[in-house]
Structure 1
Amino acid sequence: MTTHTTPALLPLPASAARTATTAGAALALAGTFLAWTYTDTFPGDLTVTGYPGGLQVLTLVSATLTLLFALAGHGIKGLGWLTPGGTYSPTRLLALGTFVITAYTVVAVIVKKDDEGNLLGLVELEPGAWISLVGALVAVLASLGLPSDQPLDDTTRPHPLNRFLNSLRAPAPGRAAALPAWAEILVIAASFGVALHVFTYGIDTEYAELFIGYVIAVGFGFTALTRAGLIARITALTAKHRNVTLAAALVAAFCFPFTQQNEQYALIGANILIFATVALGLNVVVGLAGLLDLGYVAFLGVGAYAAALVSGSPMSPIGVQFPFWAAVLTGAAASLVFGVVIGAPTLRLRGDYLAIVTLGFGEIFRLTVNALNGVSGPDLTNGSQGIPSIPDLELFGFDLGTSHDVGGFTLGRSANYYLLMLVFTAVVVLVFRRSGESRIGRAWVAIREDETAATAMGINAFRLKLLAFALGATLAGLAGTVQAHVSYTVTPEQYQFAGSVPPNSAFLLAAVILGGMGTLSGPLVGAALLYLIPAKLQFMQDYQLFLFGLALILLMRFRPEGLVADRRKKLEFHETGQLDVPPDTPLTDTAAGTTKAGA
């Protein structure tokens, strides 16, 4: 294997390609400060000159990143730290992303209908839209003329399509210049600040066109930064300062409700935390222990129903009201008991048989609470009507159902429950991290990789699997206690295997697989994406399961280890290019007494 310079896709000198890419990005950037439409019918008000708005902002950000990476290709001092893996492939991706966002905006304006039902058409476009579109097109075409160093076999003559795909792949990140410890901590803090701003911007999008553009921009931008090696560099810093990273993540999450003035958007954040916490509990069962649980949402329902029954709701047949801490313990204990009762007879099964049994348990739970209506069975859950009118919590004299002014910021009901759920999330993260790094966690991983071998090494597989099942159920029960109060009511239809509205078992399992099994942040990222996208794009509700399946198929094809992968998964699903034996190492055949050259 030797390193060759991949031929450019367009016959341009490298210096000319860099210059043209820079000029195109600058032109696209300048166009965002001009008006793009004549009418304000299209949302975002793109009629203002000198003040970008709506989708113009996304083109501005993408064009700015393209310009920075193009300047880094010119060798501008100070930008090298941002591109340890090279600048050519990230520049191509960012230029392509700028063009896609701009073209999407132009098409969205053209097909937009006015109040009379007529299409706006091309006549509604101002020169600014054409300037940005032409600049983005010039940048993406010129970027195809940039060279890229790729490891190719001496005898390989790649197909043009493969050459294009290779041009998007950057070499491995180089060794970074050492930074002082305080500078590394500042980089981590700044990274989480940027992540908070990007996430908040996505939640605050007010219309579908802007959110679709946001998804396009984030997709291309994140992929480009990954190709540049910047994400790997920041990941190395976070692994080096793990406690600082957790503290920065907690602070960034704590600041989120203070950035929200819309109660609906704060509620989206609270629900994301609830489902992300449940997904992290499922990650104990699926990601660490390797137990495929298709009925996990039932444990969330057990915790929610237990908390609702003792919440003081006028529709609760029990008619008692526990303090919140007692309701939390009741929900967690009920889920723990159900986890042990269900796990004890079923965890001796493996693979598909275990999955079928857990799927049956999830359906049995839903049918059972639906039947406890006083007619088909005891009057305990009010059947299909569920338990409504669950009162808001009051902690230390602080009513979570009313708005409060804190430091000049107004925190509404959803923000209050978001902060409460953040505490639960921090507890679950701590439990997951400690258990995963413990002797028990390593035994879970051994069982996941090969249960027979783990048993042969003295590991009590059944006891440890039961422990994982019980722990995952308890964590789901904790989240269920908060979910019952956030939603005001619990009904059997909320806890299905698959449904149009999360949570459901399919949603939670998809979040774990999409984010990355066995990782700490993977399920949090996966749950946030899978909840946020349908919540912002209402027309996708009817196609949610189809899109879940399509996303999983694409993920298994292109990134089987998930969006956030640990080192074990990367080695398992990707070839490293390393040989098992160095090619010149002599191998001794002890049986024949001869020596062979290693292959």
Structure 2
Amino acid sequence: MTTTTTTTPVPDNAGTGAPTPGTLPLGATPARVLTAAGATATLASTFLAWTWTQAFPGNLTVYGYPGGLQVLTLIGALLTLAFLLAGLGVKALRWLTPGGSNSPVLLLALGTFAVTWYAAGAVAVTLGGLVNLEPGGIIAAAASLITVIGALGLPADTAHDPHNPPTTPLHRFLHSFKAPAPAAAKALPPWVEILIISAAVAIGLWVFSYGIATPYGELFIGFLLLSAAAITAVTRAGLNRRLAAVTAKHRNITVAAAFIAAVAFPLTQSSEAYASLGAYILIFATVALGLNIVVGLAGLLDLGYVAFLGVGAYAAALVSGTPFSPFDIHFPFWLAVLTGISASLVFGVLIGAPTLRLRGDYLAIVTLGFGEIFRIGMQNLDGTSGPDITNGPSGIPDIPDLVIFGFNLGEEHTFLGFEIGRFANYYLLMLLFTAIVVMVFKRSDNSRIGRAWVAIREDETAAQAMGINTFRTKLVAFALGAALAGMAGTVQAHVTYTVSPTQYKFVEAVPPNSAFLLAAVILGGMGTVSGPLIGAALLYLIPEKLEFMAEYQLLLFGLALILLMRFRPEGLVADRRKKLEFHETGQLDIPKQTGLSKAEA
């Protein structure tokens, strides 16, 4: 006689209210229903008027057509619903949460809440009171708050300690950001993976173009709030790991797609002013990448790096053919670029040779002094305090536009039916230079000298003991970084039409300057390629877009750096070594060997 025994599965983490790591509890729980209802109401509220007057930018007075900050709230509500439905097991959206995580829903709900309440507060402050809010704005604020309350009630992502379950909303909120590792990805056909790469690059281009094209500061702040929440949500969901695996598999296609998207950027802009922002961002980013070699790879704290940008700019201006140059010389483009690179390289060697034997704070002080000496020296070469070379504080104006193979970058051109203006021309030129700098950085990082730089950065004494000529290796890094800055300076001189000493201060409200360049490297992530690019874009865009906060710019910038150092010291994009340095690795400690023999150990 055969006896059949039926067992009832016992859920993991019984009694804790937590799901099994890597899985989501399905079903319409009250928290999910509340979250879905709040997100749906928030979405519907964007089709209502939020205020009665067009005095607030973005025209939030129209029924049935979202505008301005309403569009950001609409996008946030849609993303919240999408990740929520993915958690409920909707097959078409299940790919959004490969890690089986609820935290993306909470993050997006918080981002939507922040944008909506910021819009309501901005309307009240700008127009003079909450009375200027229409019912649509009040509904949006209440619905976004309900969405956050519902999201806080969702099950946490990972198992809890049975003796200390998350009993409070704050405890659950803090614990919900510990996302589990994503499940193993199912193999996809190569053509599907290429489509995924193309879609990701297209979304990145659209987001970047939207951010640059924001016409007023309130919309840009809302864009930053929602973008921060969305990027963090995608990271917590595990989508970035899936995308990283796909891009690593098709690296050449990824690079080509990214470059094509970058080339297409000026074609997506309706105004030449936005293309000019792209050109200046690339100049700033290229210089930041050069500084990343000095600081990020070699570990040399250079506080006067912007002086090398100035050396390249002044050298190019003096040979540009401007009537304000004391030299009657007009070099062609490539010769002018080589002049700027050579001048910065020579200055890098001359400054680095006597100073690179110093370390730490002493080196920082000397490089800071060099930056100030350069600026004061350019002011004094005015024919009164010194030789008449740089026209003193007035600088060198009327620098003509570049002409490359008969192609005048200062004139508008038509390409495939698109009008390409002056700043778009310089943007494409700087894109080529940025690609060269990225290639130099990657090749250097993966080379023997790159490994020597990293060794010096980690421990110079140990590197010297291993046979590395630390002085010569640091001098190469200093000279290479200076040469890359000089290359960017040649283009900057022609884009701005003028060079003057005030452009190269240590701290100034508008980048590039030494403080902002160093901050871009630290903010983005030292030793990485994409980190300084992202950091430079943010640090250039924020002062340009938030002109109404100009008086508090440096204060807000300092607070942002303090928060970054506290919560993400490795930067926005961190390499593996920095993650291990600043965060716990989760590895077990080596057991003590006290009392054991060598054989037993």
What's the TM-score, normalizing by structure 1? 0.93
Distance 1:74 1:411, change over 3 A: same
Q: Could you say if the C-alpha distance between residues 142 and 371 of structure 1 is closer, same or farther in structure 2, counting changes exceeding 3 Å?
A: same
Which residue, 14, 19, 25 being the options, matches 2:33? 19
C-alpha distance in 2, partners of 1:3/1:241? Answer: 40
8 Å contact 1:588–1:595 — kept in the other structure?
Answer: no
Query: How has the CA–CA distance of structure 1 residues 151 and 568 changed in structure 2, closer, same or farther, with 3 Å as cutoff?
Result: farther
Give the alignment partner of residue 82 of structure 1, picking from 63, 84, 96: 96
Cα distance in 1 between the residues matched to 2:350 and 2:562: 34
- Distance across 2 between alignment mates of 1:234 and 1:190: 11
Distance 1:257 1:478, change over 3 A: same
User: Which of 28, 47, 61 is matched with 1:33 structurally?
Assistant: 47
In the alignment, what sits opposite 2:150? 142
Q: Within 5 Å, which residues of 2 pair with 1:376-415?
A: 376-415=385-424
Residue-by-residue CA offset, 1:282-332 (whole Å, 9 max, x unaligned): 000000111110000000000000000000011011121000100000000
SS of corresponding position for 2:92: coil
| Number of residue pairs matched by the alignment | 581
In structure 1, give the amino acid aligned to 2:541. Answer: L
In terms of mean alpha carbon deviation, does 133-142 or 330-339 score higher?
Answer: 133-142
SS class of match (1:148): coil
1:454 matches 2:468: no
Q: In structure 2, how many angstroms separate the alpha carbons of the residues matched to 1:292 and 1:556?
A: 17
| Greater Cα shift, 460-469 or 170-179 | 170-179
Matches of 1:385 and 1:340 in 2, distance apart? 28
Do the aligned residues in 1 keep the contact of 2:510 with 2:540 (CA within 8 Å)? Answer: no
Matched residue, 1:116: none
1:497-529 C-alpha deviation (Å, 9 max, x unpaired): 111121110000000000000001000000000
1:57 and 2:65 correspond = no
Contact 1:92-1:168 within 8 A present in 2 as well: no
Query: In the alignment, what sits opposite 2:473?
Result: 464
The corresponding residue for 1:71 is: 85
The aligned counterpart of 1:48 is 62
Higher mean displacement: 193-202 or 533-542: 533-542
Residue aligned with 2:158, SS = strand
Q: Distance in 2 between matches of 1:55 and 1:105?
A: 7
Deviation at 1:135, TM superposition (A): 2.3
- Residue pair 1:27, 1:135 contacting (<8 A) in 2 also: yes
Query: More deviation in 393-402 or 318-327?
Result: 393-402
- Aligned residue type for 1:517: M
Per-residue deviation, 1:268: 0.8
Q: 1:248 and 1:41, CA in 2 relative to 1: closer, same or farther beyond 3 A?
A: same
The 10-residue stretch of structure 1 (454-463 or 122-131) with the greater mean CA deviation from structure 2? 122-131
2 CA distance for matches of 1:4 and 1:348?
Answer: 62
Secondary structure (helix, strand or coil) at the match of 2:91 reads coil
User: Which residue does the alignment assign to 1:300?
Assistant: 309
Offset, 1:278 = 0.2
Measured against aligned partners, the alpha-carbon deviations of 1:356-392 in whole angstroms (never above 9, x if no partner) come to 1111111111111111111111111111011000001
Deviates more, 1:225-234 or 1:471-480: 225-234
Which ranges in structure 1 are unaligned for 5 or more consecutive residues? 114-118
Contact 1:81 1:176 in 2 (8 A): no
Equivalent residue runs for 1:324-403 within 5 Å: 324-403=333-412
Q: Is the 8 A contact 1:312 1:321 kept in 2?
A: yes
Which residue identity is paired with 2:332?
Answer: P
- Distance in 2, matches of 1:204 and 1:430, equals 29
2:261 partner letter: A
Structure 1 counterpart of 2:118, from 104, 108, 118: 104
Once residues 197 and 13 of structure 2 are traced to their aligned partners in structure 1, the CA distance between those partners, rounded to angstroms, is 34
Q: Return the offset for 1:593.
A: 5.5
Q: Which runs of 5+ in 2 are unaligned?
A: 1-11, 19-26
**Residues 183 and 153 of structure 1: CA distance in aligned 2, closer, same or farther (over 3 Å):** same
CA RMSD after TM alignment: 2.0
Q: Which residue of 1 aligns with 2:172?
A: 163
Residue 594 of structure 1 and its aligned partner are, at CA, apart by 7.6
Query: C-alpha separation between the residues in 1 aligned to 2:566 and 2:13?
Result: 27
CA distance in 1, matches of 2:294, 2:468: 17
- For 2:484 and 2:15, how far apart are their aligned partners in 1? 52
Contact 1:516-1:561 within 8 A present in 2 as well: yes
Q: How far 1:192 moved relative to its partner?
A: 1.4
Partner residue of 1:218?
227
**Per-residue displacement from partner, 1:94-148 (whole Å, max 9, x unpaired)?**
11211221122122222223xxxxx3x4444333323323322221111111111
Contact 1:72 1:87 in 2 (8 A): no
Q: Specify whether residues 404 and 594 from structure 1 end up closer, same or farther in structure 2 by C-alpha distance, changes over 3 A only.
A: closer
For 2:131 and 2:455, how far apart are their aligned partners in 1? 65
Q: Are the counterparts in 2 of residues 281 and 473 from structure 1 also a CA contact under 8 Å?
A: yes
Match of 1:289 among 291, 298, 302: 298
Whole-Å separation in 1 of the counterparts to 2:595 and 2:529: 46
One-letter amino acid of the structure 2 residue matched with residue 414 of structure 1: F
Counterpart-to-counterpart distance in 2, 1:328 and 1:151: 59
- The SS at the match of 1:381 is coil
**Is contact 2:49-2:136 (8 Å) kept?**
yes
Q: Deviations over 1:458-516 (max 9, x none)?
A: 11111111111110000000000000000000001100111112111000000000000
- The aligned amino acid for 1:92 is L
1:272 to 281, 288, 292: 281
In the alignment, what sits opposite 2:141? 133
Distance in 1, Cα, partners of 2:15 & 2:190? 37
Shift of residue 156 of structure 1? 4.4
Give the drift of 1:6.
6.2
What is the CA-CA distance between 1:186 and the residue it aligns to?
A: 1.8
- The normalised TM-score by structure 2 is 0.93
- Is the contact made by 1:308 and 1:484 (CA closer than 8 Å) also made in structure 2? yes
Identify if the C-alpha distance between structure 1 residues 191 and 548 changes in structure 2 by more than 3 Å, giving closer, same or farther: same
User: Alpha-carbon deviation of 1:7?
Assistant: 5.0
Shift of 1:241: 2.8
- Alpha-carbon distance, 1:159 to partner: 8.0
Partner of 1:565: 574
- SS of match in other structure, 1:112: helix
For 1:541, which of 550, 562, 569 is the aligned residue? 550
Q: Secondary structure at the match of 2:157?
A: strand
Q: Distance in 1 between matches of 2:175 and 2:340?
A: 53
Report the alpha carbon displacement of residue 240 of structure 1 after superposing the two structures with TM: 3.2
AA paired with 1:285?
A: V
Contact 1:46 1:56 in 2 (8 A): yes
- C-alpha displacement of 1:152: 4.2
Correspondence list, 1:121-270, <5 A: 121-153=129-161, 155-156=163-164, 160=168, 161-270=170-279
Decide which moves more: 216-225 or 517-526: 216-225
The SS at the match of 2:414 is: strand
Q: Distance in 2 between matches of 1:100 and 1:588?
A: 55
User: Among residues 433, 440, 445, which one is paired with 1:436 in the alignment?
Assistant: 445
Sequence identity of aligned pairs in percent? 68
More deviation, 494-503/157-166? 157-166
> Structure 2 CA distance, aligned partners of 1:154 and 1:351?
48
Distance 1:345-1:5 versus aligned 2 partners, 3 A rule: farther
Amino acid at match of 1:234: L
Q: What amino acid is the match of 1:108?
A: A
Structure 1 residues 523-532 or 129-138, which shifts more? 129-138
Cα distance in structure 2, aligned partners of 1:210 and 1:595: 67
Counterparts of 2:158 and 2:171 in 1: how far apart (Å)? Answer: 12
- State how far apart, in whole Å, the 2-side matches of 1:353 and 1:307 are: 32
